[in-house]
Chain A
Amino acid sequence: MIIDHPLLGPRDAAEFVYLGDASLLDRPHWQDPEAMGKFYEYQYLRENPAGELRELWYHEQGDRSWLVVTRDTTTHAILCVELAREVARRQQVSN
């Protein structure tokens, strides 16, 4: 797989470390009255879809940036690559 890094261009996926579902960006607030239940869901439960999945990849052998990669889990086709910090910033603005 080739990941088209927004800053560095096309890079081999072997340069990256895979973390998992990009829902890990949405960490619950620790003071939330339902924090116990929300952290359980955040930490352990996954959609695990057969099809499009937004996921976190870390460019460990490169510029050490975190990326949000949208990939099809049935074909391995990469559909979209964004910098995770920009995704997180957008989410903060919309919240």
Chain B
Amino acid sequence: MRYSALRILSQGLSGNRGWERIWRDPEPKTSYDVIVIGAGHGMAAGYYLAANHDVRNVAVLEKGWLGSGNTGRNTTIIRSNYLLPENQPFYELSLQLWEQFEQKLNFNAMVSQRGIINLFHSDAQRDASVRRGNAMLLSGADAVLLDEGRLRKMCPYLDFDNARFPIRGGLWQPRGGTVRHDAVSWGYARAASKLGVDLIQNCEVTGLVIEQGRCVGVETTRGRIAAGKVAVCVAGSSSRVMKLAGLKLPIESHVLQAFVTEGLKPCLPGVVTFGAGHFYISQSDKGGLVFGGGLDGYNSYAQRGNLPALEDVCEGAMAIMPMMGRARMLRMWGGVMDMSMDGSPIIDQTPIKNLYFNGGWCYGGFKATPASGYCTAHLVATGTPHEHAADFRLDRFQRGHLIDEKGAGAQPNLH
């Protein structure tokens, strides 16, 4: 189904009764060439398998409904402002795919490149921002160093003269921004469905069928389905699903909370992040201030957190934007993050033949959705890793080739 102004007009006049489903809702077949588990990054992988590699006999299995997992539990920020050479080109690829998303898929995902500013508060942090900005420029991304004078003009509401953390400037990526998160999965689902990919919702995987060291299918709540290849893209549930194959992962699942205030008039033009604590904020198109901070810090699958993390995040808010103190908080939610041991993701084959793993996204999974699907599809279809995801190997911890952006060591709740 395609949308047009004429269609909206005619539907409006006829009581909006003619809209149909925008993707098919098929019964699972008995066998597929590729089964992708999880319809977040997995939905993107399903689309790119069909669109880029002409692999169309594909099923994407989702245990709940489309967008019910972490796709619907994030702060919708997109950016490519990483430092390390293993990460930055990958996230830049992702940002470029975001820029093409709406035209390619003919779906309004409200990709809004309103810019992201990482604040710095000291000379040392300024130097680190210069270094990061240079790394971004080297990868082909954009980066602008803002001094205090320029930043004061752009964001006059920040607490520049805070006694503890005075704001000295920021590293700005004008191409960063936000995307309507649900529309991402809807856009991919519609495009993939049109190319013949089956999206099967309410279908939880309960077992992986492994015969003589190779994966040949999955057991689900809707029966057994045979598969040539299986790709697991289940983020927070990675350890649970891979345990079905007897694999132990370098991952812990942690809860991360996010918060929204009541709707306000436009006051915040882009995304702003605090440099001296963990806090980031943007304003949604509905007007609510969407913000979050660090993890609660303990393993959790509960999809909800506790109040100490909320207090810490609000302290961060008050430290840089005291005007927020008057806003009422509307709601909060928690998502389950697959925190890897070095803070970077994994897109790789597993020791079990024809079983592929995509995970360890920590709390940076949303922005990675297009590139993650793109590179997973490339790996599954060709058997070789995509050049921008070639370092995201499962065995890198054993080899000592860690990608530790923060230098925090093997302590997942610190990444």
Contact = CB atoms under 8 A, between A and B. Distances in A.
Contacts of A55: 298-299
B293 to A, nearest CB: 14
Interface stretch (B111-119, B183-191, B300-308): B300-308
A40 to B, nearest CB: 5
Contacts of A45: 248-250
Contact of A48 (B299, B398, B411): B299
Interface stretch (A27-35, A68-76, A84-92): A68-76
Contacts of A73: 253, 299-302
Nearest to B306: A1
A48 B308 CA distance: 23
Interface in B395-411: 397-398, 410-411
Contact of B251 (A40, A41, A48): A48
A20 B300 contact: no
Interface size class of B (residues with CB under 8 A): 20 to 34
A21 B411 CA distance: 11
B306 A50 contact: no
Highest count of chain B CB atoms <10 Å: which of A48, A50, A73, A74:
A48
Interface in B373-415: 397-398, 410-413
Contact of A50 (B248, B297, B301, B413): B301
A63 interface: no
B301 A74 contact: yes
Given A13-B308, A47-B239, A18 B298 contact: yes
Contacts of B249: 45-46, 48
Contact of A13 (B301, B306, B410, B412): B306
Give the interface size bracket for A toward B: 20 to 34
B397 A44 contact: yes
A13 B229 CA distance: 44
Contacts of A71: 298
Nearest to A77: B302
B251 A46 contact: yes
A73 B253 CA distance: 9
A79 B251 CA distance: 24
B240 interface: yes
A20 B250 contact: no
B294 to A, nearest CB: 12
Contacts of B237: 50
A7 B397 CA distance: 38
B252 interface: yes
A43 interface: yes
Given A18-B297, A18-B413, A43-B410, A76 B248 contact: no
Given A44-B398, A73-B301, 13 more contacts: A1-B306, A13-B298, A13-B308, A21-B252, A44-B250, A44-B341, A48-B299, A50-B237, A50-B253, A50-B301, A53-B299, A74-B302, A75-B302
Interface of B: 237, 239-240, 248-253, 297-302, 306, 308, 341, 397-398, 410-413
Task: Report, nearest first, the 6 A-B pairs whose CB atoms are least far apart.
Answer: A48-B239, A14-B308, A44-B250, A50-B301, A44-B397, A45-B248
